[in-house]
Amino acid sequence: DVHTSPVPIRFDKREICQHPSFTGDKQQQCKQHLKSYCQGRLSKKGAPCQDMSKRECSNDLMCKEGQLCRNYQCKQAPVCQVTVCEGPTNACGERYTLPGFTHAQKANGNIFDLTNGNWWDRVSSFLLSDGCKEIEAVDDDDSCRFGKGDNRFFTSSANLPYDLDNDVCMIR
C-alpha cells in the first residue's frame, strides 16, 4: 500500500522517472505525478520536499573540474595552501607560501622538499588554509623521510614544538 510504504522517488541517484522502464507518455506522467508525490505522501513521513529543478548537481561528477557538489550546488573545491614561517604564527616573519592544490589533484597530499628555496631548518610555524586536512612535518634528525616517529601531523596552523622548530626538511 502506497500510504504505508511509499516507493522511492529516486533510482541510483537519478530521479525515478529517468528509469529505463519509463518511456514516452509514461515518463511524462511520472514527472507530473512526482511534483505532488513528495508533498502529498513523503512529507507526512518527515521527508524534506524541495524543488528538484533548483538543484545544480547531486554528486561531484556533475560539476566542472575543480568543483564539488555541496548542498546541490557546484562549489569551487577548497585549496590546501601551506605557508611556512620563520617566526611564530602570530607574527610569521619571513614567509614562503607553497603552491596550493586540491584534494582531487593530490589525494595523498603534495610533497614539498624545503631544500628548494632554502627553507630547510628555518621553519618555526605553519599557516594552513581551510582546504588542508592535515600536513606531516618531517624532522630532519637522522634522515629526512616520511613516517618517522619524530615527525608530527598538524590539522591547523601551529607553532612547531621544540624538537621540530627550525628542524623541518619536508612537508606533505
Where are the strands (E) in the chain, listed by range? 10-11, 14-15, 67-70, 73-76, 79-80, 82-85, 95-97, 101-102, 112-113, 125-128, 135-139, 152-154, 158-159, 168-171
**Position 81 pLDDT exceeds 90:** yes
- Residue 11: what pLDDT? 43
- The mean pLDDT of the chain is 84
Question: Confidence band (pLDDT; 50, 70, 90) for 86?
Answer: very high
Distance in angstroms (rounded) separating the CA atoms of residues 54 and 148 = 49
pLDDT of the residue at 5: 56
Pairing state between β 73-76 and 67-70: antiparallel
Which of 87-99 are b and which e, b meaning 16 or more Cβ less than 10 Å from the residue's Cβ? eebeebeeebebe
| 125-128 β-sheet, strand order | 95-97, 82-85, 125-128, 158-159
pLDDT digits (tens, 9 = 90+) for 8-24: 555 445 677 878 888 88
Q: What is the pLDDT of residue 83?
A: 93
Highest mean pLDDT among 3-17, 83-97, 103-117: 83-97
pTM for this structure?
0.64
Ranges of each domain in the chain: 10-54, 78-172
CATH superfamily of the domain spanning 78-172: Crystallins (2.60.20.10)
